[in-house]
Chains A and B, each alone.
Chain A
Amino acid sequence: MTTLVVTINGRTHGPAEVRDDLSMNDFLREFLGMTGTKFGCGAAQCLSCAVIVDEPDGTSHTSPTCVVPAASFNGKTIRTIEGHAKDGKLSPTQKAFIDHFAFQCGYCTAGFLNESQVLLERLAKTPVAREELEGTIAEALDGHLCRCTGYIKYHEAVRDVILADANRYLLASK
């Protein structure tokens, strides 16, 4: 057993005694009832279960939760799908996903949203040139599997969010 304390969407959870073989996915879904994080393949292949991990150095990345023990998240700060909307208002990326019909069944959406958010925050710190944008989005989202919409609507949605605030995410054009 491990005593787990983890900060999720700005709120501290625990200390909770968890079995060492309990996955983070089960901890989120079964212990906390946060079912927005999905369980897909259970093999870290589809990333529908991905959450955002905020590192102490200010960088963020996604991590699968299905094959990762909850205990390994002890002391960490993470964000899940439940943390994107503020005061009942959707984030720009959430809104763009809806406007573009980016998802149908929605199973992969939490993972895509988290990955897109990480990308936006990275671009806000280190912008890319306009002509590199499509490739940057494609590379960032590539690990996530979607069976319904063929990816393009997710990519277009993220691109629109970035282009709508180009000064923030893109290098000034020469």
Chain B
Amino acid sequence: MGVGYALLETLPPYEGGPGNGQWNLGQYLVARGSDLPLQDLEIEMLPPLTADEPPKGMAEVVMIPVVPALLNAIHDATGKRFRSLPVTQSMLKGALA
């Protein structure tokens, strides 16, 4: 979800946007497995707080740092600082032109 928010999801407000109820996955781009560096990812499981309390998920909180991480990586790679989301392929090509 974080990758989609940072790089893929162009979601204009009002009638032209997904709020009109007409969008499907052709327009609303969801990251696929091939959009992710799956072989370089590690999942870290935090230990339980107490022995009788198994660790729980923390839901979408975990997607928050993905966005600045990606935008900082883009800054490191290109020297350009983007301030609106998503940073699409065409924006990157424009910045590098």
A and B: bona fide binding partners: yes
A147 to chain B minimum Cβ distance, whole angstroms, is 6
Would you call B25 an interface residue if the criterion is a C-beta within 8 Å of the partner chain's C-beta atoms?
yes
Q: List 27 interface pairs A-B (beta carbons < 8 Å), by A numbering.
A: A41-B25, A42-B24, A46-B30, A134-B38, A134-B39, A138-B33, A138-B38, A141-B33, A142-B32, A142-B33, A143-B32, A144-B33, A145-B25, A146-B33, A147-B30, A150-B1, A150-B36, A150-B41, A151-B32, A151-B33, A151-B36, A151-B38, A152-B36, A152-B43, A153-B43, A155-B33, A155-B38
Q: Which residues of A contact B (CB under 8 A)?
A: 41-43, 45-46, 104, 134, 138, 141-147, 150-153, 155
Assembled-state Cα–Cα distance A114/B30 (Å): 21
A108 to chain B minimum Cβ distance, whole angstroms, is 10
A95 to chain B minimum Cβ distance, whole angstroms, is 18
Would you call B84 an interface residue if the criterion is a C-beta within 8 Å of the partner chain's C-beta atoms?
no
CB 8 Å contact bits of B62-97 with A (1 = contact, 0 = none):
000000000000000000000000000000000000
Decide if B33 touches A104 in the complex (CB within 8 Å): no
Residues of chain B within 8 A of A145, CB atoms compared: 25, 30, 32
Residues of chain A within 8 A of B43, CB atoms compared: 152-153
Minimum-distance CB pairs A-B, first 9: A45-B25, A151-B33, A41-B25, A142-B33, A142-B34, A152-B41, A145-B30, A43-B24, A134-B39
Assembled-state Cα–Cα distance A134/B39 (Å): 7
A33 to chain B minimum Cβ distance, whole angstroms, is 26
Q: Label chain A's interface by main secondary structure.
A: loop
> Closest residue of chain A to B25, judged by CB?
A45
> Closest residue of chain A to B39, judged by CB?
A134
Residues of chain B within 8 A of A43, CB atoms compared: 24-26
> Closest residue of chain A to B60, judged by CB?
A148
Decide if B1 touches A45 in the complex (CB within 8 Å): no
B4 to chain A minimum Cβ distance, whole angstroms, is 8
B67 to chain A minimum Cβ distance, whole angstroms, is 14
> Closest residue of chain B to A146, judged by CB?
B33
A47 to chain B minimum Cβ distance, whole angstroms, is 10
Would you call B13 an interface residue if the criterion is a C-beta within 8 Å of the partner chain's C-beta atoms?
no
Assembled-state Cα–Cα distance A147/B25 (Å): 12
Assembled-state Cα–Cα distance A155/B38 (Å): 8
> Closest residue of chain A to B34, judged by CB?
A142
> Closest residue of chain A to B63, judged by CB?
A150
